[in-house]
Structure 1
């Protein structure tokens, strides 16, 4: 039996799970490699999530040295073990109400591999997701390839994506959306049961965060000379309606094109591989805790409103929707999809119908994602209504970049009637 070595076991990092042993990894590798006599010689464990980095999960890096049966030369592979962080009952109960951990395990175990296989048989084939090694429902854990070994990195959330990165993301997203529509056509009901997105009809656990950020947006508008009291009053009226109006975007409409959305598509949930002499530019989608069957408007408005460089969003959004649509249609046809394929105009109308998603995300999530002041940046600061929490939210709304973006987009939303109370 091989040995186990631990590193980075200090107070700043979450400790690795106790059940992550040599025998545990050996059994999983034997199944994955289809080799009952495979032996793990060495297991190196390195916690990858510092305390405060992530409130929903813990990442652990493992390096495995193993010997296949009959082989004389050992092999080495690197994996990530993702486990839920349930140390705080308050956080745990909210995420449980969204079925976040269960959704992601089902995605990596049952769905993403099937989407990959579907695409492999077409001329649209390319890698979109990390490869799943094992999903452990007992320990609520997912083991997948360590993308850092292949030089994948997370982009800069404070800068946002340029046009090239944006188009690459939309290409992969369109292929995921197309493959999911086809999978659900071939296995009816398989994906439609996933209905616990960030906005859904089962839980409003996040409503304190979204409603309090709408209040911050109203205060900002009232203090901003370019906006003023009219905007402040409109945003105050929307404060208690933000959950309902955004949930409507998620409600699958008969006659529309619906698919499995990523549900939380922004810079930090996209792994980038910069272009080098030996490798082309690439990206992969990660983190599927909030995937849900819905309109593609969910992913497109969320991504556009959180992750693009301001100039790209302002000048290129129409062209980017056309680009996404072209890839979507080509992939649906390559997969012999027999269902409804929207024309570009029909997709535009669907996105227009779901445009409140852009309002909600621009005024709330974007403030959190552009925050560059990390003191007090934790889940409790987002969810509670105490002095510390209110101060943190004020700090995020003092962000100059956020203010400039909102000064541009709020008048556009207002002209579209998106800031008015609807029936």
Structure 2
């Protein structure tokens, strides 16, 4: 994606606003036990726009293996981290409603055409490709037809609904945008997020679909979804309670219903973002 469309989309300013204001406040609520992100050390808004952050490697964080996907231990840490992120955002938004103004995210009709083109081309490429896969080629035409309104489908699936819990979503919540810390036996013990350009205030189903469809190993994807949702909801509820949120967390039924309503978003992410996770270095 070239620099011009990134500038037009305002992604840098979202990241700057998250790191210097919103996340700073969210981290304050969870300290010293937990941290959601690295600290922003210096910010400059114009010519050039830049952001200096602390180096998380020094704190012992590193990337997990992108190609194999996350195993259960990594996935549980990631969902606990995501739940704390969401819960802290609810607490901040209750105190300062203006924090809900993260309204764009990845799919937004105001984005420049270059950004939409990526999703359209990705779906067309997938349709062309699976026409050669005997077991699924019957879907090729269906998928090709999606390409014209992929953007609209995603946007509709994650529209904000006042009846639901809404949170600030990370918005680009995949295993490349988080780092893990390990103990001496190589067991993951902590997780932290990076890259806050796509943050958006809406249903947490957005981050959950995104994460599930880009970051899990096959085994976890197929067998552990309920384990992960239980971890997520348990941590979300406990953290919201601890932070004295007035908003109520959803029940498991409500969470599953909102995941079901937005399931087409998960499909789009699997068709367009997952290939980036799996492609050769």
> TM-score per shorter chain, which class?
over 0.9
2:241 maps to 333
> Separation in 2 of the partners of 1:181 and 1:114?
12
1:259 maps to 167
2:231 maps to 323
Q: CA deviation at 1:100?
A: 0.6
Q: Deviations over 1:121-174 (max 9, x none)?
A: 9xxx41221122222223322222111122211121111111001000110110
Higher relative contact order (CA 8 A, sep 6+): 2
> Separation in 2 of the partners of 1:356 and 1:371?
23
**Residue 274 (1) aligns with residue 185 (2):** no
> Separation in 2 of the partners of 1:167 and 1:325?
11
Q: CA deviation at 1:194?
A: 1.0
1:149/1:119 CA distance change after superposition, 3 Å? closer
2:208 maps to 300
Question: Please, what TM-score do these two structures have when normalized by structure 1?
Answer: 0.63
1:194 maps to 102
Q: CA deviation at 1:280?
A: 6.8
> Separation in 2 of the partners of 1:280 and 1:95?
34
> Separation in 2 of the partners of 1:106 and 1:136?
11
Alignment of 1:354-393 (within 5 A): 354-372=262-280, 374=281
**Residue 144 (1) aligns with residue 87 (2):** no
Q: Secondary structure at the match of 2:100?
A: coil
Contact 1:180–1:260 under 8 Å retained in 2: yes
> Separation in 1 of the partners of 2:30 and 2:58?
24
Contact 2:164–2:203 under 8 Å retained in 1: yes
Unmatched tracts of structure 1, length 5 or more: 1-54, 56-90, 375-423
> Separation in 2 of the partners of 1:323 and 1:131?
27
> Separation in 2 of the partners of 1:131 and 1:346?
34
Unmatched tracts of structure 2, length 5 or more: none
Q: Deviations over 1:244-271 (max 9, x none)?
A: 0101133211101111000111111111
Structure 1 segments of 4+ aligned residues over 4 angstroms from their partners: 277-280
Q: CA deviation at 1:277?
A: 6.5
2:75 maps to 166
2:85 maps to 176
> Separation in 2 of the partners of 1:246 and 1:126?
32
**Residue 98 (1) aligns with residue 9 (2):** yes
Question: Which has the larger Rg?
Answer: 1
Query: Higher helix fraction: Structure 1 or Structure 2?
Result: 2
> Separation in 2 of the partners of 1:323 and 1:277?
23
Question: Please, what TM-score do these two structures have when normalized by structure 2?
Answer: 0.93
Query: Higher strand fraction: Structure 1 or Structure 2?
Result: 1
> Separation in 1 of the partners of 2:249 and 2:186?
38
Alignment of 1:23-38 (within 5 A): none
Q: Secondary structure at the match of 1:206?
A: helix
2:94 maps to 185
Q: CA deviation at 1:313?
A: 0.7
> Separation in 2 of the partners of 1:200 and 1:239?
16
After superposition, the CA RMSD in angstroms is 1.9
Alignment of 1:8-157 (within 5 A): 91-120=2-31, 125-138=33-46, 139-157=48-66
1:221 maps to 130
